[in-house]
Structure 1
Amino acid sequence: MATSVRLPNRVEQALAAYCVETQRSKSEVIIELLEQRFSLAESEATPYERAEAAGFIGCVEGAEPVSGGYKKRAQSAIAAKHGRA
């Protein structure tokens, strides 16, 4: 599919210089850059969404909630360490 784009002179010159330097066509460079841009847009998920998609969220079962009673366990451990149990 053919598409025409008007580039500012500075962008056209930079693209031409880059193509000469890398021995690639303008089309190759533009297609690669657009594909990179679109793949980045798709990957702008939150860390939670990435962890969930990777299977890390909800993958471990425990006998009791890990965070439940944390403060009391920490206080007990500190008291025991200092002989105040």
Structure 2
Amino acid sequence: MLLIVCFVMGVANFAMHKAVSESGHPFVEETKRYFSPHFRPYGSYAIELALLMGALWFAHDGSLAVALTYGVYTGINAVATWLLLSGRT
């Protein structure tokens, strides 16, 4: 069950990541310039994938603490996405 929950949170994280990446927000555009020279154009997605793979690995082993930590990470991403897309920042 932890594996499925982490996978669904990972899908949500990638969806939020894409929405923010395509938002055109000045902070996001500045961040893209940081990643672009080294990992064109998907460097931030690689980091997101690494986090998801780690969470899935530990969830497969039954680690509730890591699944909860990944849940907190997803919640923080949701708040940050809402702030950026709603223009509150």
Structures share fold, TM-score greater than 0.5: no
Relative to the length of structure 1, the TM-score reads 0.30
Q: Which has the larger radius of gyration?
A: 1
Larger relative contact order (Cα-Cα within 8 Å, sequence gap ≥ 6): 2
Richer in helix (by share): 2
